[in-house]
Amino acid sequence: KSPQMTKICTGWDFGNLHIFGGFGGSGKTSMSFNKVIMSCIENKEKLLIIANEQSIEEFKKMLLVTAMGTGTKKSVKRQRLNEGNFTEEEKKKLTDAIQWVKDLCEGEYALIKFIFMENYVIKDVKKVIKHYANRGYKSVMIDTGKPSDDDGSRHNEQRHARFADDFKELYKITRANGGGLNLRMWVNVQLTDTALT
């Protein structure tokens, strides 16, 4: 449902790594929900989400908001979710949306798997990706891509060099040949304020 974006990047195809950059608070995660996650849900394609900043609860809350408009077609204003004291009608809408999210995200054969990584170390990220790729999760979203936390082996490496090396590793595991797993990967990246100059 994004013809211009599809034209620019020729779709979200397998064997490729897509990086979506934006400044803090610019809506990277929200946009990814509307475009990437909802596309996987609508097409019944398994999706692995690796999060390292927002909690799983926050992701599920965002999915709940999305579900209200897309999954169950019964919306509640976003502000109302924060206010509470719901009417009976709103409670019913929320209950239906919660069930929709549970059906998608829980159980062994869930369509969406959320993995939260407190310590974002690329070798651990690759292990998680391989584990789930072997279980049919060929679409991967990482929110947010960043340089690996120091695992002791790369402490002398500059942050930007570590960042570039990490993305090389993500591409290697994503590509269709050369030992890759033929995945499609979407990585949100936060740009620094210095990128404005």
- This prediction has a pTM of 0.82
Asked if residues 51 and 113 have their Cβ atoms less than 8 Å apart, the reply is: no
Bond from prior residue into 144 cis (ω within 30 degrees of 0) = yes
pLDDT digits (tens, 9 = 90+) for 91-112: 888 888 888 878 877 777 789 8
- For the chain, what percent of residues have pLDDT higher than 90? 29
For residue 61, CA distances in Å to 80, 118, 150 come to 13, 19, 30
Question: Which residue shows structure tokens 């033929």?
Answer: 182
pLDDT at 176 over 70: yes
Asked if residues 161 and 116 have their Cβ atoms less than 8 Å apart, the reply is: no
- Side by side, the strands of the sheet bearing 47-51 are 16-23, 184-191, 139-145, 47-51, 112-116
Q: What is the mean pLDDT of residues 27-39?
A: 81
Structure tokens at 163: 């960042």
Strands 139-145 and 47-51: parallel
pLDDT at 25 over 60: yes
pLDDT at 181 over 90: yes
Which residue blocks in the chain are alpha helix, DSSP H? Answer: 3-9, 28-32, 38-42, 56-66, 78-83, 88-105, 122-133, 159-174
